[in-house]
Amino acid sequence: MSDKKIAIVTGGTGALGRCVVDRLASDGVKVYVPAISMEDFNSVFDRSQSSDEPEIKSIFSFVCNATDESSVVEFVDSVSKLEEGQIDYLINTVGGIHGKITIDEMDTKTLDSMYDFNFKSTFYFSREVLKRMKEKNYGRIISIGAIAALEPSPGVFAYSMSKAGVINLMNTIAEENKGTDIRANTVIPSILDTPANREWGSDEDIKTWVKPEKVADIIWTLLRDSFSDVRQSMVKVYGKY
């Protein structure tokens, strides 16, 4: 196994994902980002040779639909072949939320879309990457949870249900692999300070939010071997929320 760590970051073109990708790449990790299109990837990560960001040259991508099982299988297989079966880190940041709607008015389309986007995408990637990690007896999987998965939150049941599944998935992976050097944990941020959230948040709200860069720092800390005894944890990154 190469000394250079190999990572997959789902949702890597998003506000949090980009910070995670940059954090890992700046510390010498080779990062693969599933992207809905290469245009989407290139719009976030400058692939030009003139780029003055050296870590950019450690960031790569293939087109992948994270909610499509066969697409995820193909993506992970491609990375595995290029890296001779080595995938050290998987960070699942892909996800989304729906508009507020009470259970009596909720349609199955909303329920299914949240289940697909938040849970199934995380399950597909975790399952496929875990196969490679078990072959090497080494790996770290970190997924993003949500406060709504821990506490009843009116109007967002489909979202909270899907994120609760993510937490359970990480805990189960951790338990099933507790005799190995494979770890799985969940990071649960409060509201992230992103451009999209700033469109509706007040100045007072924003003061309590968590910077994506801070979450990325915590994820990087959990990935390090010095924290190898930490497994099946839910790390709450609430800031001043």
Q: What angle do CA 109, 110, 111 make, to 5 degrees?
A: 90
Rg (the chain; Cα; Å): 17
Q: Taking residues 178-192, what's their average pLDDT?
A: 93
Least confident of 44-53, 128-137, 161-170, 230-239: 44-53
Q: Taking residues 116-140, what's their average pLDDT?
A: 98
Residue 41: is its pLDDT beyond 90? yes
pLDDT of residue 26: 94
pLDDT of residue 199: 81
| CA gap 231, 48 in Å, rounded | 39
Alpha helix (H) residue ranges in the chain = 15-26, 38-44, 69-82, 108-114, 121-136, 157-176, 195-198, 203-207, 212-223
Q: Taking residues 99-105, what's their average pLDDT?
A: 95
What one-character DSSP code corresponds to residue 118?
Answer: I
43 Cβ partners below 8 Å, 6+ apart? Answer: 13
- Any idea of the CA torsion for 171, 177, 181, 185, to the nearest 10 degrees? -10
The pTM score is: 0.93
- For the chain, domains (ranges, CATH) are 6-237 (3.40.50.720)
Residue 241: is its pLDDT beyond 80? no
pLDDT of residue 36: 95
Percent of the chain predicted with pLDDT > 90: 75
Amino acid at 214: K
Residue 159: is its pLDDT beyond 50? yes
pLDDT of residue 55: 61
pLDDT of residue 228: 78
| The residue to which tokens 């970051």 are assigned | 9
Q: Strand order in 182-189's β-sheet?
A: 59-63, 30-35, 6-10, 89-92, 139-144, 182-189, 234-237
The answer to whether 86 and 2 have CB atoms below 8 angstroms apart is yes
pLDDT, tens digit (0-9, with 9 covering 90-100), for 186-222: 999 988 888 888 887 788 888 888 999 999 999 999 9
Least confident of 34-43, 107-116, 196-205, 219-228: 196-205
Amino acid at 224: R
Percent of the chain predicted with pLDDT > 70: 95
Q: What angle do CA 110, 98, 92 make, to 5 degrees?
A: 100
Choice between 207 and 6, residue whose per-residue pLDDT is larger:
6
Residue 48: is its pLDDT beyond 60? no
| The residue to which tokens 């995380």 are assigned | 122
